[in-house]
Structure 1
Amino acid sequence: MMEKQTYLEKLDTKFKHPYIIFKRIFDIIISIIALIPAIMIIIIFAIIVVVDSKGGPFYAQERVGLMGKKFKVFKLRSMRIDAEVNGAQWAEEEDPRITNIGKFMRKMRIDELPQLFNVLVGQMSLIGPRPERPNFTQQFSEEVEGFEQRLLIKPGLSGYAQVNGGYDITPFEKLKLDLYYMEHFSLKLDLKIFVKTVAVVFTGDGAR
């Protein structure tokens, strides 16, 4: 309980913008359309994951969303089932915990496709700050002043920081990019991020 209060008690304002309503409508329509081919891709790779390594094809991970509300994100499993026996940790370059098929899925972002369901039910948006795990949210909010401001808008499947900063940026750099997104919140910016996201998927840039 104390953890939640620590980074939520600082959120004394709410992010308000007329585009939020249209953004939600856009999220629902696009996620439904995207899920039509995505479901078949998810099923195919779920089978491959089971054949490729021991364990189930999916895993759920707790993240911090809008106004600090915690939720589960779903992914196709790209690591060994014992990948975090020693606790949560960042993925490293050439991480030995990643399975053979996991390398391909992460490069093409296929492991993220199940999160379209998170978008559909309203826990996430297609575009927004990427949601962090509770322990990292707590840590970064203590180390970087204002980091919790990212919680004022719904987290995204992709985001401005992801397509402009990549995986290795610091929490401070991530905050700066996410705040820029919030300051320039619009359909035009979302479309630019969407196009860049498609380019990242096809090039595999920044994947781990």
Structure 2
Amino acid sequence: MSSVIGFRDTWPFGYRLYNVAVATLLLVTLSPTILLLAFLLLITQGPNILYFGPRMGKNQRPFQIIKFRTLCPKRARAITADRTLPADANIETRLGKILREVRLDELPQLVNIIRGDMNICGPRPVRPEIAAIESRRIKGYEKRFDVRPGLIGPTQACFGHGASKRIRARMNNLAVNRPVNIAAELSLLVRIGSSILHRIGKKSVKFAKRFSTGKTSAFKDIYLSDIVQNKPSLVHRIDMSSLSVRGVDLPSDGHLAIRLHSGALRRARVKLTQSGAPGIFNYKPVNEVDAFVIERYALGRVIIPPRVAWSIESRQPELAGQEAGI
């Protein structure tokens, strides 16, 4: 996907017309959804439903981004003064967490596109404070300001909210050097829309299953291996900081192996500590690349999550033997 997306517009006037046309069409088509969200936010958190905040646009020109408000204002200002929101901050409003997860809080940015602040596709908009910090920390970070920021893009689709800025910058800089590919943009837009609808559907099913007593023996194909003894064990649950396995001695170092639907493997190194409960480990990724792999492939905390294979628990010995060489 990222190999065909480009941000460099070779026909500025035509590309501008395209952005206005698509944003206007989406705004009209999605107006019932936008009005419904506005009504739900109004009755759950009062009249202050929109967020206006400074962002850096093309040539570092500041503009005010428009989003649905999803965070408690005072706590958000304190926590995000010089950084992006941590994954475990838990300062979302009553509907904020679900809106942020499915990215519906971004819909008002269609107005920013019509106004000329943003494009449909481009780097994620950043606050001036973050831009100043990352420009000193990451070589070539300012290249993103050669183009307008975007509502969608490879980093918005494939990275979670707290993903590494260094990896994001690398991907953005590659796209800034490539010419715009409208067909690729529209394809990405359709994929994002389909994924959001799918995620909303999955959440509805999960909510319905709360009232069901049925059990399942299926698990995602994710394994924890001891680096020294290289003995893989099926991971039964994983979140941002802990994971559970059965019947494994505590390794201080290990790696997660995630098998994709295509059969390919993605690996992430982790540091493990005992949580106090049998089979439950706290973990930390070794570096930002490992953190990205876990967030994208093991947790699926991105707009377009990869297809991870599913295994049946009874197949664990067979699969463990296959994994012995990883």
Greater than 6 Å deviation, 4+ residue runs: none
The 3-state SS of whatever aligns with 1:169 is: coil
The one-letter code sitting in structure 1 at the alignment partner of 2:149 is P
Matched, 1:108 2:108: no
In structure 2, the CA distance between the partners of 1:44 and 1:73, relative to structure 1 (3 Å rule), is: same
Q: Distance between the aligned counterparts of 1:187 and 1:92, measured in 2?
A: 33
1:191 aligns to 2:186 (yes or no): yes
Which of 70, 78, 82 does residue 86 from structure 1 map onto?
A: 78
Structure with larger Rg = 2
More helix by share: 1
1:153 to 2:147 alignment? yes
RMSD (Å), alpha carbons: 2.3
Offset at residue 86 of structure 1 (A): 1.5
Distance 1:201 1:116 in 2: 17
Q: Given residue 186 of structure 2, which amino acid in structure 1 is its aligned partner?
A: L
Counterpart CA distance in 2 for 1:84 and 1:166 is 18
Between the aligned partners of 1:172 and 1:85, the Cα distance in structure 2 is 24
Paired-residue identity, %: 22
CA contact (8 A) 1:62 1:134 kept: yes
| Alpha-carbon distance between aligned partners in 2 of 1:166 and 1:93, rounded to the nearest angstrom | 9
Q: Which amino acid aligns with 2:301?
A: G
Name the structure 2 match of 1:8: none
Compared CA separation, residues 32 and 52, structure 1 to 2 (3 A): same
Question: Following TM superposition, by how much is the alpha carbon of 1:54 offset from its aligned partner in structure 2, in angstroms?
Answer: 4.8
Local SS of the residue matching 1:166: coil
Cα shift at 1:99? 1.8
Please report the TM-score for the alignment, with normalisation by the length of structure 1.
0.82
Secondary structure at the residue paired with 2:76?
A: coil
Moved more, 159-168 or 135-144: 159-168
Structure 2 residue 48 is the aligned partner of structure 1 residue 47 = no
**3-state DSSP class of the match of 2:48?**
coil
Q: Secondary structure of the equivalent of 1:123? A: coil
- Measure, in 2, the Cα distance between the counterparts of 1:193 and 1:183: 19
Structure 2 unaligned blocks of 5 or more: 1-6, 200-299, 304-326
Alpha-carbon distance change, 30 to 41 in structure 1, aligned in 2, over 3 angstroms: same
Using the size of structure 2 for normalisation, the TM-score is 0.54
* 8 Å contact kept, 2:55–2:128: yes
Residue-by-residue CA offset, 1:165-204 (whole Å, 9 max, x unaligned):
3334322211111122123322233234323322442344
Q: What are the Cα deviations for residues 26-70 of structure 1, in whole angstroms up to 9, with x where unaligned?
A: 111111111113333222222211221255111101100000000
- Structure with more contact order per residue of length (Cα contacts < 8 Å, sep ≥ 6): 1
Q: Identify unmatched segments of 5+ residues in structure 1.
A: 1-14
**2:131 maps to 1:36:** no
* CA contact 1:76–1:112 (8 Å) conserved in 2: yes
Question: CA deviation digits over 1:116-173, x for unaligned, max 9?
Answer: 0000111100100111000000000000011000000111001122223333432221
Q: Does 1:182 align with 2:176?
A: yes
SS of match in other structure, 1:149: helix
Moved more, 23-32 or 62-71: 23-32
Letter in 1 for 2:173: L
Q: Identify the residue that residue 6 of structure 1 maps to in structure 2.
A: none
Query: What is the identity, as a one-letter code, of the residue corresponding to 1:103?
Result: K
How many aligned residue pairs are there? 194
